[in-house]
């Protein structure tokens, strides 16, 4: 049973409720986790709960998260699909500078292959955010996306996606190669990507929101808390359920290093929000 139902990434079928592995590494997404056994247990439980979509990157750690995924789950079940991203790296000061040159992108793809223990990557997202979270970088996507398209043609990547991009950059990328998903910041209060989400739904491209609960004002948090009490759920469960009901092309990748929190997130896929709760939540973005 796939939590939340399923969507397709190209020819790959994945659960709408996925799992984001970023938080499995140490503080600041740097180094090993404080409890390696717990990290392994979370990954294994996610698969046991029916999650078939894991989001990761080799610059988480760096390398740590992918190594944990390999230790926990390799050889991978046929139904499990791992989506990774390239386009950034970690600097010695724990920053996130862009890494969009041909050499950097090629190296990143090979790093992901090696540390995940794969011969081919299911999906690789090209990430375009800047060092300080600038969204999106006002540059042409053509050159870096062409590099990934070449690696796809070489058989190292099955499908390509995008992260931290504008509608214009999506259009530019699709002129080069098919795009199977777009990953941008989006939640019940941060609706800046409403237009892009709807445009992607119209052409059957999944949208993968990250930061599903964060950046809320105290007033917005109060409304969310009230809605959660009315449906006997947690605020995070309500935020995730709202996303699943917002559009049928949404895939979720909430992350956690806690087995209990993981179970709460997956349970949100079964939460149906009534019309009055949806109406109150929609006001948060106004």
Eight-class DSSP state of 91: -
* 39, 17, 216, 35 alpha-carbon torsion, rounded to 10°: 0
Neighbours of 35 (CB within 10 A): 11
CB 155, CB 122: distance < 8 Å:
no
How far is Cα of residue 257 from the mean position of the Cα atoms in its chain? 15
Strand, coil or helix: 88: strand
Q: State whether the Cα torsion 74-244-141-100 is positive or negative.
A: negative
Cα–Cα distance, 226 to 165 (Å, whole number): 33
Task: Specify the residue for token string 């106004």.
Answer: 286
Strand, coil or helix: 57: coil
CB 212, CB 254: distance < 8 Å:
yes
Catalytic residue among 60, 76, 186, 210: 60
60 among known catalytic residues: yes
The residues annotated as belonging to the active site are 60
């Amino acid at each position: 049973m796939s939590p939340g139902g399923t969507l397709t990434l190209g020819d790959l079928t994945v659960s709408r409720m996925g799992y984001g592995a970023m938080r499995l590494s140490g503080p600041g997404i740097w180094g090993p986790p404080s409890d390696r056994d717990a990290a392994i247990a979370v990954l294994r439980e996610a698969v046991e709960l029916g999650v078939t979509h894991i989001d990761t990157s080799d610059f988480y750690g760096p390398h740590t998260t992918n190594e944990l995924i390999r230790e926990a789950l390799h050889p991978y079940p046929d139904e499990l699909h791992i989506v990774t991203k390239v386009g950034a790296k970690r600097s010695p000061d724990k920053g996130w500078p862009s890494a969009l040159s041909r050499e950097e992108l090629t190296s990143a793809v090979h790093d992901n292959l090696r540390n995940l223990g794969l011969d081919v990557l299911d999906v690789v997202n090209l990430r375009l955010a800047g060092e300080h979270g600038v969204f999106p970088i006002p540059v042409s996507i053509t050159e870096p996306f062409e590099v990934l398209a070449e690696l796809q043609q070489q058989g190292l990547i099955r499908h390509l996606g995008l992260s931290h991009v504008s509608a214009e950059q999506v259009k530019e990328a699709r002129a080069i190669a098919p795009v199977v998903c777009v990953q941008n910041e989006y939640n019940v209060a941060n609706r800046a990507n409403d237009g892009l989400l709807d445009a992607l739904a119209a052409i059957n491209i999944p949208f993968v929101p990250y930061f599903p609960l964060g950046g809320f004002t105290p007033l917005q948090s109060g409304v969310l808390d009230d809605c959660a009490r009315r449906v006997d759920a947690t605020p995070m469960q309500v935020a995730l359920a709202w996303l699943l009901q917002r559009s049928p092309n949404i895939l979720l990748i909430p992350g956690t290093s806690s087995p209990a929190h993981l179970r709460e997130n997956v349970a949100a896929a079964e939460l149906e929000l009534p019309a009055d709760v949806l109406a109150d939540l929609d006001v948060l973005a106004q």
